[in-house]
Chains A and B, each alone.
Chain A
Amino acid sequence: MVNYFPEEVLEHVFSFLTSHRDRNAVSLVCKSWYNVERFSRGKVFIGNCYAISPERLISRFPRVRSLTLKGKPHFADFNLVLHDWGGYVYPWIEAMAKGCTNLEELRLKRMLVSDASLELIAKSFPNFKSLVLVSCEGFTTDGLAAIASNCRFLRELDLQENEVEDPRGQWLSCFPDSCTSLASLNFACLKGEVNLAALERLVARCRNLKSLRLNHAVPPDVLQKILARAPQLVDLGAGSFVHDPESETYNKLKNVMQKCTSIRSLSGFLDVNARCLPAIYPICINLSSLNLSYAPGIYSKELVKLIRKCKKLQCLWILDTIGDKGLSVVASACKELQELRVFKSDPNDVGNAAVTEEGLVAISAGCPNLNSLLYFCRQMTNTALITVAKNCPNFIRFRLCTLDPITPDAVTMQPLDNGFGAIVQSCKGLKRLSVSGLLTDQVFLYIGMYAEQLEMLSIAFAGNSDKGMVYVLNGCKKLKKLEIRDSPFGNMALLADTGKYETMRSLWMSSCKVTFGACKSLAEKMPRLNVEIINEGDEMEGGSDDRQNVEKMYLYRTLVGPRKDAPDSVWTL
């Protein structure tokens, strides 16, 4: 009987449970397990910062050391959500500073992070080790300076794709000479200059530095000096690379790269001359991850020469300048490929996309371990998708984006329903799906029937009627996030199964056919959901008409009721 296990034993057993889902499950078994688990939980993941309050978090998990928080909905990435919608991290930091000062790690995504928040972190948590900010905004390099100056045991400062103001540019010099603990430093997204001498000294004294991603302002000769001092690097983001293959810098870089035999992951190359790529040929054979998606000006021929050498590659992020032919080369060279992302080389220029269904089919034929895909393409066919589904049954993430959102099968001019149907039928472990192209309710019927493990679904310009959305809500038992834009789903679909939304993290619907009246009645019926209407501009003057379509609705389950920090343009019904 478990009652006879002393708590220490339970705690020891639970310490082997690292996944938060396992721990959540364990805490539901009985009161005693709930208590042991909550005192021993070190890492907490909160997928929606408004689902719970910081105070309740701390009272349940007083010993939390690592906190992950996500703020804005995913479609905020595409400018569909106002800047000031919310997702402020300050209240969380404030609460933790009072109740839980052994915080060591903070990972934030799509949150508003002020300099004041960063300063508060720097002041309040003596053991703070790791700060990871992804797609956040609201802070400047002044906040980073506070972190650098005060966090004596900082191991990780990882800034990914944030919008950061850089008024002073001296934050890097704020790392004191006594700071030797850095293992990971990523400032690739910063626009401003950095103190290069301070950077070199920092790298020299941090012997544990394994991951370093530089920004554009670090010139190639400094890169070469840094690499000479840090041959132990495992992950490198080169900011600026060398331009002139005849130069002294190029030669030095070539020589020093040969010694960097530990590098497994390469990214950056924000500004590179393709003729200087041979400098990295010596390390290609060791690479498991390569991200050239921010490297303009490398055309198919050079890309292909480089990639041919990367025989152990597992993860490749590339621009569509690689072309279908280039993807065939990837397929023949990179047999261990698991993740592929092909981005548009020029998001503003519709019509010059350089990859089609052919490239994807080639990859699927050559890389059977492929499990994660993001593919921006000009066209697609059902036949191709069916072939891909057969070749690669292991997809966990499958995101397709055709440039014209309602383009049909390029050969038959039919909808792409059957192609995606094949994907969900074949890939039994599929957790994330984004569909694209001309799609009818049929595709949602297939998704509801077959996508048993699906957790996140993104829909744009698809479907014919409410039935489509209902198929998904009824069928996908594990659905957590559903985001829909510009599709003809209306009130019947929204209200078909209101209880479902409490099993999900969130639902986003924009430019669909749901009305105010329906949203209001949903909010009334389900008090544990926040139903938010986002109004931009003048639509809502003088009260709402129940029959009027809602432009943007975002609903999510929550234990703490309507939030108090919503701007005027966001109404919680």
Chain B
Amino acid sequence: MAKDGLGLEIELTLALPGGGGSEASGSMEKKEKKRVFSEFSGEETNTAKKNKMVGWPPVCSYRRKNSFSEEEGTKMYVKVSMDGAPFLRKIDLSPLEGYSSLLMSLEKLFCCYIGEGESSEYVPIYEDKDGDWMLVGDVPWKMFSGSCKRLRIMKSLDAKGIGLHAKDLLEGISIEA
């Protein structure tokens, strides 16, 4: 293997495989034009297809299991109570993408209007893992959905004393899920 290029033209060229453009050192056989990846994806064997995706990207399995994205198919049903309603409902948080989807789903469930604005009658709150009642919207969505135990749609009148407004809560939601 000549280090200083004796007998070989070691030029740093940006050549495509298969000899398109200027020649790199050693002749690139024309028949090698096919890229590796597409070559494999052209094969119909199941194992080739299967192995193509296994273990890529190379994230070690411990990290993969402990990353914070939910496994597909897990459902996160939580109870939802609304002040004045005679019974509770349940809602699945897992397919929702963020706070706006949550509010829309809640509104559909109870046929009420929670939305923004000072005129809003209701304020959504939730009970977290520690048992504390929190205002919906402060933390990133994924953290919320991971720690929400139950929801309550509270009447704004009850919250007025603390100075909460639905508007403030929704304005603060700029974090992407």
Residues of A that sit less than 8 Å from B by CB: 75, 77-80, 135, 161-163, 189, 219, 243-244, 271, 273-275, 293-294, 296-297, 299, 343-350, 376, 382, 401, 403, 405-406, 409, 412, 414-415, 417-418, 421, 434, 438, 440-442, 445, 448-449, 458, 460-465, 467, 471, 474-475, 485-488, 510-511, 539, 551
A and B contact pairs by CB, cutoff 8 A, 29 listed:
A75-B55, A77-B60, A78-B56, A78-B58, A80-B54, A135-B60, A244-B134, A274-B140, A275-B138, A343-B63, A344-B57, A344-B67, A345-B67, A348-B67, A405-B57, A406-B36, A406-B37, A415-B17, A438-B35, A445-B10, A448-B1, A449-B1, A449-B3, A461-B37, A464-B28, A475-B1, A485-B55, A486-B36, A511-B48
Least CB distance from B137 to A in Å reads 13
Is there contact, CB below 8 Å, between A297 and B68? yes
Cα of A163 to Cα of B66 in the assembled complex, Å: 11
Cα of A347 to Cα of B63 in the assembled complex, Å: 9
Is there contact, CB below 8 Å, between B143 and A296? yes
- CB of B132 closer than 8 Å to a CB of A: yes
Is there contact, CB below 8 Å, between B143 and A273? yes
- CB of B25 closer than 8 Å to a CB of A: yes
> Which range holds the interface residue count of chain B?
35 or more
Q: Is the interface of B mostly helix, strand, loop or mixed?
A: loop
Digitize B58-78: 1 where CB-to-A-CB distance is under 8 Å, 0 elsewhere: 111111101111000000000
Q: Which residues of A contact B12 (CB under 8 A)?
A: 418, 421
Q: Which residues of A contact B44 (CB under 8 A)?
A: none
Q: Which residues of A contact B128 (CB under 8 A)?
A: 243
Q: Which residues of A contact B139 (CB under 8 A)?
A: 243, 273, 297
Q: How many A-B residue pairs have CB under 8 A?
A: 153
Known interface pairs A296-B142, A299-B140, A415-B17; A376-B60 also in contact (CB < 8 Å): no
Is there contact, CB below 8 Å, between A486 and B14? no
Is there contact, CB below 8 Å, between A511 and B51? yes
Partner of B47, one of A135, A441, A474, A539: A539
* Given A296-B68, A347-B69; 16 other pairs, CB 8 A cutoff: A78-B55, A78-B59, A78-B61, A79-B55, A161-B60, A163-B62, A271-B143, A296-B142, A345-B67, A347-B64, A405-B37, A406-B35, A412-B14, A434-B58, A442-B15, A465-B29
> In the complex, which residues 1-53 of chain B have their Cβ closer than 8 Å to any Cβ of chain A?
1, 3, 10, 12-17, 24-26, 28-29, 32, 35-37, 39-40, 47-48, 51-52
Q: Which residues of B contact A510 (CB under 8 A)?
A: 51
Least CB distance from A473 to B in Å reads 10
Q: Which residues of B contact A486 (CB under 8 A)?
A: 36-37, 40, 51-52
Residues of B that sit less than 8 Å from A by CB: 1, 3, 10, 12-17, 24-26, 28-29, 32, 35-37, 39-40, 47-48, 51-52, 54-64, 66-69, 128, 130, 132, 134, 138-140, 142-143, 146-147, 175
Cα of A135 to Cα of B63 in the assembled complex, Å: 11
Is there contact, CB below 8 Å, between A445 and B62? no
Least CB distance from A81 to B in Å reads 10
Least CB distance from A224 to B in Å reads 14
Q: For the complex of A and B, list the 5 residue pairs with the smallest distance between their C-beta atoms, beginning with the closest.
A: A78-B55, A296-B68, A77-B60, A161-B62, A414-B14
Q: Which residues of A contact B25 (CB under 8 A)?
A: 442, 445
- Residue of chain A at shortest CB distance from B33: A464
Is there contact, CB below 8 Å, between B16 and A414? yes
Q: Which residues of B contact A296 (CB under 8 A)?
A: 67-68, 140, 142-143
Cα of A345 to Cα of B140 in the assembled complex, Å: 14
Is there contact, CB below 8 Å, between B140 and A487? no
Partner of A189, one of B16, B58, B62, B67: B62
Known interface pairs A297-B142, A299-B175, A418-B12; A347-B68 also in contact (CB < 8 Å): no
Is there contact, CB below 8 Å, between B143 and A294? no
Is there contact, CB below 8 Å, between A488 and B36? yes
Known interface pairs A161-B63, A296-B142, A441-B26; A460-B56 also in contact (CB < 8 Å): yes
Is there contact, CB below 8 Å, between B36 and A445? no
